[in-house]
Amino acid sequence: MKGLIRGAAGLAAVLAMSACNSDQTIDLMGPPTGIQATPSSAFTATGDSVAILLRMVNDRNQAVPTQFTISNVGSAVTVAYDTKYRPDYTVGDTLSVPDVKPQQRYFAKGAAPGKATFTVTSGALSTTVTVVVQPKNLGPALNKTTGVVAGDTVTITAPSGLKFTPTSAVSFLSGAFAIASRAADSSNIKVVMGPGTGGSVKVTNILQGYAPTLAAKDSLRSTNSVNVTPGLTVAPTTISNQTPSAGVPITIQLGGGLRYLGTSKVLIGGVSAGIQSVSADSSTATVLPMSGSSGTPSFENVALSFLTSVPLTLPGDKNVTASSTVYGGATDPNSGSIATASTLALPPVGRTYVFADGAGYVASAQCGGAGGDGCKMYKIVLTAATTLDFRYTWQGGADMGLYRLNSSGGAPTAMGGCDNGGQGASGQPETCTAAALAAGTYYIALVYYGPGSYGGGAQPAPTFTNFSITAR
C-alpha cells in the first residue's frame, strides 16, 4: 500500500516541494527537527485499534509535509496507514487527499496481549511509538471442557504475558469448587470441581507481565466452557437401626464420598436429631433421634471429602421411625434433686443436643417451687450469653411443663410454649425459647401434673421423656 512505503527522504521532500510550491511560508519555516507522534505511548485491546497521528515538525512545532516509513513493528500489533484521513483538502470543487501532507494517521491494531514498539522514519529523522495491548479475555484457558464430573481437577492457564496473583478469585457460571493449588510461577490455578459446577470461568486480579507497572486487570473470562458436572440429589446412607426405641442412639454412615463437618446437622422428619459423636474419618455420625420423629433423614452442612469447603444440604435415601411408646435408653439416677442434678452437655452454637431419661418423678417439694406432682431436675452451665431453644416430648398423655430455675434452684420461670399444653395427644410436643440468657448456672425442672392437678382423671406420669436443646 502506498501509505506504508513512505520511502522518500524527509528533508529532500521538503526542499523539492518548496521549490515548486506557491506557499512562500515554507521557505520561512526552517528545517524539520523531529517526528511527533500523538500519542507516543498508547493502549489498546486485542482486536481493537488506536489512532496514532504523525507530524514532522521544526523547532517551532510547525508541521512540515512529508511521507513516513513504518518499520520494526512488534508482534503484538499491526500498523496500517489511514488513507481516508483528510486534514488537508485541495482548492476547488473536488476533494482530493494528497500523499504528502503535514499530518498523517495510522492505526495500531492489537494482535495479541503484549507490549510492542514500531519505528517511524522520514529521511534522517525517526521516533519510536509504544503500544501496550491488553487482553479482552483469557482465551481457551480451561484444559478440560467435556466429561468433567465432581471431583475432577480442571486447570485454568493464564495466556502468555499474563500472570495470576495470590488474590486471584475464581468463579464459574454455576456451582461450587475448591482451589487445589496455584502454580509457583503464577501461570495457572487448579480447581477441584463440585457437583453442578460448569460454564466459563472468571478470574480476578490478573497481572500483565509485559507491563508490570500497570494495575491488575479487574477480571477476565475464558472463551471456552466446561460442561456442568452432574449434581448430587441424595445422600446415600447406611443406617444401623431404622426403627429405634426412644432414647436409643443410631449410626448413620454417609456414602458417595460425603463427610460430616463440625457444623453438620441431622434432621429426621424435619426434627433435629442430636449428633453425639462422629467417626475419625467423618463418614459416620452417632445420633439420637427424638422420640416419635419419623421420615427420611436430611443432612445440613455435609460435604464431599475432596471439597470440604463447600457445605451441602441433601436428603437421605432411607426412612427412620423412632418409637414414641417404647423406651430403650437409660434413666438418670441424679435427677431427683437440685443437689445431685446432672449437668447437661450443651451443644456449640448452631447445634442441637438431644437427651432422654426414664421414669421416676420425685416429690414436688424438690421442684424449686415449680409446683406439679413431681419433677426431674437437670443443670446447665452457660459460659457466655446464649439463647436456648427447647423441644420436648414424652410417653403417654400426661400434662408436662418445663421451667427454668436460678443458680440456687429457685425462682421458677415459665418458658412460654413449654407449659401451654394440657393432657392428651395434643399436649405435645412443647417448644419454647430462653432468650439471651446471661452466663451462669441454671436448672431445668421437668414437671409432671398428675392427680393434684387433675384429680382422678389425671394421666399417669410418663415412662420416659425426650427433649432437645439448640444453642444460638
- Give 241-277 pLDDT, tens digit per residue: 999 999 999 999 999 999 999 999 999 999 999 999 9
Amino acid letter at 80?
A
Half-sphere exposure of 109 (CA within 13 A, CB side): 8
CATH 2.60.120.380 occupies which residues in the chain?
342-471
pLDDT of residue 194: 93
Give pLDDT, residue 96. 60
pLDDT above 70: percentage of residues in the chain? 91
* H or E element in which residue 27 lies: helix 26-29
Predicted structure pTM score:
0.72
Residue pair 430/446 in contact by the 8 Å Cβ criterion: no
Mind listing the pLDDT tens digit for each residue in 269-302? 999 999 999 999 999 999 999 999 999 999 999 9
- In the predicted model, is pLDDT for residue 24 greater than 50? no
16 has pLDDT over 50: no
What integer pLDDT is reported at residue 101 of this predicted model?
A: 74
Helix, strand or coil, per DSSP, at residue 426: helix
| pLDDT score, position 294 | 97
**Residue 12 pLDDT > 50, yes or no?**
no
Residue extent(s) of CATH 2.60.40.10 domains in the chain: 2-134
The CATH number, out of the four listed (2.60.40, 3.40.630, 3.30.300, 2.30.30), of the domain defined by the range 237-321: 2.60.40
Mean pLDDT for 197-224 is 90
C-alpha cell at 256: 458417595
271: its cell numbers: 426434627
CB-CB contact of 15 with 74 (8 Å): no
342-471 in CATH: which number? 2.60.120.380
Residue type for position 447: V
Mean pLDDT confidence for 408-424: 92
Strand spans (E) along 46-146: 49-57, 63-64, 69-71, 77-81, 104-110, 114-122, 125-134
Bridge partners for 259 per DSSP: 303
Contacts of 471 (CB under 8 A, 6+ apart): 346, 347, 348, 349, 350, 351, 353, 386, 387, 388
User: Binning pLDDT at 50, 70 and 90, where does residue 47 land?
Assistant: very high
> What local confidence, expressed as pLDDT, does residue 161 receive?
84
For residues 464 and 288, give the distance between their C-alpha atoms in angstroms, rounded to a whole number: 14
Average pLDDT taken over every residue of the chain: 90
Instruction: Kindly report the CATH number that applies to the domain delimited by 2-134.
Output: 2.60.40.10
Mean pLDDT of 6-29: 43
Contact 229, 198 (CB under 8 A): yes
Decide: 222 and 201 in contact? Cβ < 8 Å.
yes
Strand partners, 401: 447
Exposed/middle/buried for residue 313 (C-beta within 10 Å: 0-12, 13-18, 19+): exposed
